[in-house]
Amino acid sequence: MKDKAIQYVCSQCGRTETKWLGRCPDCGSWNTFEEEAVQSASVGKRAVISTATKPISLGEVVVDPLFRYETGISELDRVLGGGVMRGSSILLGGEPGIGKSTLMIQVLEKCSVGRKVLYVSGEESPSQVKLRAQRLGLTLSCIDIFCDTRVEILEKILSSAHYDVVVIDSLQTLSSEEIPSPAGSVNQIRYCSTLLVGMCKQLGTSLFLIGHVTKEGTLAGPKVIEHLVDTVLYFEQVSSGVRLVRAMKNRFGSVDEIGIFSMNEKGLTPVANPSSFFITDRSGSALPPGISYTPVIEGSRTFLVEIQALTTSAKNGFSRIYSDRIDTARVTRVAAILERHASVRLSDQDIYVNVAGGMKLNEVSIELPLALALWSAVSNKSLPKAMVSFGELSLAGEVRSVGFPDKREKASKELGFNRSLLPRSSTRSLLIQHACTTMREALEICSSLQ
């Protein structure tokens, strides 16, 4: 009997090779090639989306005014760009136990008003899903459940009974008889996802796919899945009981919005007032050394966050930087600017940087408050308690302006701050402004406000 043809597929990017490689030439990942049986040439030739027998002009395309509808969960609607699009496919990834299944069953219950919804479970039995829904206090009769992982069976169900919203929990459990590979393999995930996404687009069904993440925190499976779906959401935990939903890709909205949820016995609930959620409530007249406040903009909202820094003498003469909420390369660059242009010695210090509440910061406006927190930590001098700062630092030690200064100051004023340290003063200000052009000048201003 002739052996089946074998190929090796990278689980991160989908590259195929005839032999096993330790490192993928495309994405550079190590030890990601998995053995797969070569599928027949007839598999996968079905059209993903089919419209008509001949091309038509865009002017002839009819758009349903109810093409987008709200899920009933405000924070999720914000991340999605206002709601769910009919026929769209949404991939939700996150760590095990973070609340992906809980959020999705809550979405189905909210969307069930006037719509047919289906929950497909490949990991739990119907009784387990029912017990969770009862614990959350959901209406059980409005949600249909189906427990099967064979994509051919799902195809028949979706074709015969038109559902408006379908949740697949999870993508890694799906399998097809036409693919000679186990469930969760690259070929299975790619084929099943292509089939379901194409079918739901034709039927106008909104499809939610729950995906697992790897130990590196990325979605398991080839990158082609992220290109195939319309929206990619990441579910992350920032502190005890608090979850963030962030869009990494969104064809129907912005990727700058984030959704903030709190976890309790009734499931995930949106945080009512998240603007001050990441600020520590302190009593007293002075801040501890190493603390600075800054307003950051995420989409249409402004958050006040607290940057924390700690410096200690380096052991064995080799300094190290510990920072998981702000990019380590940015901390290194800011520390070098301080040492070169403001005579703040940090090369013999171990540097620890954190953000209160666990929020990850990527905006360039955090560079000035990060520098102030490092200076405060190493000099053991506290910054003014009611002062916020924002600005970008150049390698020449200059403090550069950033966008939306009025919006940042307005949010700071509402939370009780009365001073701001910023690159350039505006004509109208709600706060007492202290303008600076260089990093050294910014430190002189902070010293004078002691």
- Residues forming the annotated binding site for ATP? 94-101
Cβ-contact 244, 258 below 8 angstroms = yes
Q: CA-CA distance, 228 to 313, in Å (whole number)?
A: 50
The token pair at 96 is 């095990």
Bridge-partner residues for 294, per DSSP?
305
Q: Which residues define the annotated binding site?
A: 94-101
Name the CA radius of gyration of the chain, rounded: 26
What is the number of other CB atoms lying within 10 angstroms of the CB of residue 320? 11
The token pair at 106 is 């809550």
Q: CA-CA distance, 365 to 326, in Å (whole number)?
A: 12
The token pair at 434 is 């202290």
The token pair at 285 is 């007249």
3-state secondary structure of 182: coil
Q: CA-CA distance, 208 to 119, in Å (whole number)?
A: 10
Q: CA-CA distance, 340 to 355, in Å (whole number)?
A: 25
What is the number of other CB atoms lying within 10 angstroms of the CB of residue 406? 12
Q: In what order do the strands lie in the sheet with 206-211?
A: 144-146, 117-121, 165-169, 206-211, 89-94, 231-239, 242-250, 258-264, 267-270
Q: CA-CA distance, 318 to 187, in Å (whole number)?
A: 47
